[in-house]
Structure 1
Amino acid sequence: MLQVRGESIISPGAKQNLIPLAIPLSESSSGSVTALLRWPTAPPGMEMPVVEVRKHGVWLLSKNVDQYIHRILVEEDANHSRESNNELFRASAGAGVELYKKGDFAESRISNLDVYLLRKVGLFPDIIERKVMHHFEKGDQVSALITGEFYTKKEHFPGFGRPFVFNAEVLLKVGRKLEAKDAARGALKSPWWTLGCKYQEVADIAQWEDEQIEYIKEKVTEEGRQEDLKKGKAPAQVALDEAAFLLDLASVEGTWDDFVERIAECYKEAGLHDIAKFVLYRD
């Protein structure tokens, strides 16, 4: 399906300069990589998400593969591009038939594609963010704020910081600086590679200088590890925490390859040998 859409299929081991938790699938002509995300310690109930890999981390495209395929088929059907339409439906093989029947969008009598996708397919970050911006364009700040808040509900995108970043931007837009600062600080409690933008952009709203980065740099020193162990933290947990901290640090400048070996060692120390192997795997 990705090939039919004009993307080049790439090797799952083509991970140079990419976040090591990604399983690359395809690359577009603009150079953006679509991948699956293998989350080492996934939040409960999380399937393997589909993401766009960016320099500083990932952008969530879909919470799972089925939702991603479903959305592609609906969009193709709605756009009436008959040739590629048929080709895509053929490429989706059995999966497509189960998820979506051609003509369902027209039959639904829902005129807005985004509304159909949210109601019938699932929640997608880009659509929710677009919805908020439409509210602003109409001068409806209240609906924009309500939708921004809805986006952050933890059952919607567990583990991802992006909803909190966007909500902080929304609050800032309406002049609620203090609430925006709190929302941004909340976002930085999530993995920094899930923010959907550079760390610095969020740190600026949070009104933090380099203290968070310095704190994390201290945590990954031998002294930091020993301190955690003395506090009674299990060695496996200390190793997992260190891996998470290193991923955060790598995301700041997008220097993934500098950290990958130590990250793999941490997963090995935590007993996650499969994840350690996966992190190191590359062509």
Structure 2
Amino acid sequence: MAKTVRAVVISGNGTNCEREVAAACRLAGCDVADIVHIAEFLAGRARLDDYHFLNLAGGFLDGDDLGSAKAGANRLLHARIQGSEEHLSDQLRRFIADGKLIMGVCNGFQLMVKMGLLPAVGGDHQSQSATLTFNDGGRFEDRWTHLKVDSASPCVFTRGMDGVYLPVRHGEGKFVPASDEVLAAMEKRHLCVLKYSDPSFQTTALDYPANPNGSVAGIAGVCDESGRLFGLMPHPEAYVHRTHHPRWTRDSGLSEEGMGLWFYQNAVRFLRETVL
């Protein structure tokens, strides 16, 4: 029997990148890439159990009121499914326990951090140990960034990568661990998967605009210790073809597939080889 990879992108309450994410999943080889409104899950008409790859897309979730993605995090953590004693968070815990994959981009990354899914040092996926807050520059940043990949990271999504070039577009992208101890544990376990860097992929923690938001230690993307839960502020779904590159008309050396597609291809490969 063929191994069918089923991806889902949750939409609603202000997300606006779900179509791009679903398209990236399909291009990477997902057999199914459904866009499902959060209300469908809460009404019991859709279930996370039916999927292998959960995508939390970017946008302006709940208008970024009450802090980036905090209201959305509370909804996912505490909302009960209509006509059931089960909460959506119960399905989410099963999803993680079954070895499936979750990726959150931009607002989706904020959501995972506010829910406690990342960085989850020590395997605790229920306690918040970091946050994402206002950019140091005090303004929305829309630019392309170079990102250094930690090759020693357990992250499933970045296997085989050394450095990537992706766009950021956010006003609250500064990653801040709850303490120096949390940061030290993240560094020791190689959970700081992506760091902002210069064009030669040398990391920087301080320099603007290479670090567009002032993230502590230049952190742009984080995974948990399993490597199966991953979040990042840059948008991989926005660079899945060479025509998405800002210099595509001037750089004849660009490959047909964009660097962002690699993340999704790694996810599909892992699911086919390990989960299905």
- State the TM-score, normalizing by the size of structure 2: 0.28
Q: Which has the larger radius of gyration?
A: 1
- State the TM-score, normalizing by the size of structure 1: 0.28
